[in-house]
A and B are shown apart, each in its own frame.
Chain A
C-alpha cells in the first residue's frame, strides 16, 4: 500500500498498472463465481434455502441479547471460558493476557477475519509474540508482510512464480520452482513443525450455537483442527453476530456456505467444538467492536447477517478489477464497503462509492443482504455528513445546477459536443476521471432536443 491515506481510486490505479494481471485476477474470480452458480443449481430449493437463512439471521439480530446470554451459559456449563471484548484493543489485550498466564510467546493461528479486523498480529508483534498464520494463503501473505486481499482466498492476487520466489527466500525451496503441489508440500512440512511445537492456538468461529454452547469452524486445509487439537490452550475469537439459535440451523448454513464461497458442496472439515479437549483450556472471546452500533443503524444492521462466504467479492465487477488491497480494510469487497464506514466513516468514506450499484452482490448473497441498497444509502449518509470525495461533490453540484435549469442544460450540451468535436484533448486527458481506462464516445451531431424538434414537431 502506497500511503496510509490513499483511497480506493488511487489504490486501484496502482493495481490497474498491469493490465494483463488485472485480466487474470478478473477471470480467476469470475471462474469461482461460475463454480458457485453450478453448485447452487444442484439444489432445487436453493432460493428457499437463502430465504430461510436470511429469516434465521433476522431472528438472531432481533433476539441477540437473549441468544448471547444463552450461549454464554451453555458454553460455561460445557467448560469453556467466556470473555467479552468491547473493542479491538480489549480483544487483543485478552489474548495477550492468556499468553502471559501461560508464559507463551509463540502461537499458531488459523484464519480469522476478526483478528485481522482487530489488528491482532501487529499488536502481538509489538509485544514480542511470534504468530504463525497456518492457512496456506494467509501464511503466504504473512511471509510477504502483506494482508489478505480476499477473505476466503487470501493470496488470490499472487502468481505461483512469485510464491515460488517467496518460499525460496523463507523456506529454502529451490529457486525457480513454482509447482503448486511442490510448494504446498513445502508449506506442509514447515507448518507441521509449528503445529507440533506451539502450545496455544487461535481460531476463528463460523457459527456459534446458543442452544448448545458449541461453535463450528470450517476449513478445507484442516489447519484449525491441527492447531486446536495439538495445543494446550485453544482461543476462539468471534464477533457477537456469529450466533445462531439452534444446532439444526447449522444444516441450513453449512449447505449455503461453501457452495456460495467456492462452489464446493461443503468444506472438507466442519468441526463442532463443544467441550475442551482432555487437559486443555478452551477460551471464547465475544467481540463487539462496532457491531452493536451497526445493530442500531436501521438501514445498515442487516450487514451483520454476513457469513463471510465472499460470494459478493467474486461477482463484483469493481472488486475483480481493483483487487482487495484497494479497499484498505480487513474485509474488502462489497460487504466490506458497507461494514467499514460503520467503524470509521471518514476513513472509509470512499468505499461505498467503489461500486457500480449493479446489484450482483445482493443476488448471490446466501443470507440475502441488500448490499447494493446499503452502498447507495451509505453514499447519502456520507455526503450528508460531509465526508464524500471532493471531486465527486463538486461534480455532483455542477450536475445538479445544470440539470435543474433548461437554459444551462442547453448551453452545457452544446458546449460539450463542441469541445469533444474540436478540442478532444480537453476531455481526453488524465484530469478527467472518466477518461481513465475508457475511450470517450464520439460526440453526437445534435442533441436530443434538436433531433426531436426536427423530426417530431
Chain B
C-alpha cells in the first residue's frame, strides 16, 4: 500500500486550484416530439429490429415466425407462457447454446436507440451477451429523449450491474466492413408495447 500514499500525495501536490463543476441543468439536451420514431429510426440504422406490438401474445407469434422452432429459447417474462423460463441458478457457461433470450428493458433512449437493463432484468449477467439472438420488451411510455434524462431515471438506483444495449454485437475491424454478431447476439429485436 506504499504506492497508494505516494500516488495520493503526488496528486495532492500537483493538482491545480479547484475548478467548479459545471451545472448540468444549464445544458439543454435535445428532445424529440416523436420519441418512438426517433428511437426506431436510430436502432434500425445501427442494425437492430423494432417490432410494434399491442399485446405480449404477439411476441410469441413473432418468435414462431422468425426464429426456427425447436430451438433453445429462454425468457425472464412470466407472461410469455409458451417459452421456457430462465433457470436463474444456471451456471453462465451453460448459456452458450441459448438461441434466443427474451428479456425486459426498464427504458429506452430515443437519441441513440439504447435500452437499459440491470441485473434484476438480466438475472444472469452473461445472458444478453452470450445468447445467439437477443430480444427485449419495452413499453412505449418508457422512452426518454436523451442520455441526460436516462441518468435522471437511473438516479441513485442501487443496481449491481447495469448495461445500455444498442443493437446487436458488431465489429468493423476488418477493413471497416460492418459485421453483425462479433462475439454476442447476431440480432437484437426490441418489441415496443403500446
Q: Footprint of B on A, CB under 8 Å?
A: 28, 31-32, 43-45, 48-49, 51-52, 55-56, 58-59, 61-65, 68-69, 84-86, 90, 134-137, 140, 153-156, 158-160, 163, 180-181, 183-185, 188, 191-192, 195-196, 220-223, 225-226, 229-230, 240, 245, 247-252, 254-255, 262, 264-275, 277, 286, 288, 292-293, 295-296, 298, 301
Contacts and interface: CB of A to CB of B under 8 A. Distances in A.
A225 B163 contact: yes
A183 B177 CA distance: 11
B160 A274 contact: yes
Contact of A268 (B20, B130, B168): B168
Interface stretch (B26-34, B51-59, B75-83, B98-106): B26-34
Contacts of B13: 296
Interface in B1-43: 1, 3-4, 6-8, 10-22, 24, 27-30, 42
Contacts of B14: 292-293, 295-296, 301
5 contacts: A84-B1, A221-B170, A222-B185, A255-B148, A265-B112
B17 A160 contact: no
A180 B174 contact: yes
Nearest to A48: B27
Nearest to A63: B18
Given A222-B169, A266-B112, A274 B163 contact: no
Nearest to B5: A84
Contacts of B12: 65
Given A65-B15, A267-B166, A222 B129 contact: yes
A61 B16 contact: yes
B184 A222 contact: yes
Nearest to A187: B182
Given A184-B182, A271-B161, A272-B163, A55 B21 contact: yes
Nearest to A79: B160
Contacts of B18: 59, 62-63
Nearest to B10: A292
Contacts of B42: 265
Contacts of B129: 222, 225-226, 229, 269
Contact of A64 (B15, B171, B172, B184): B15
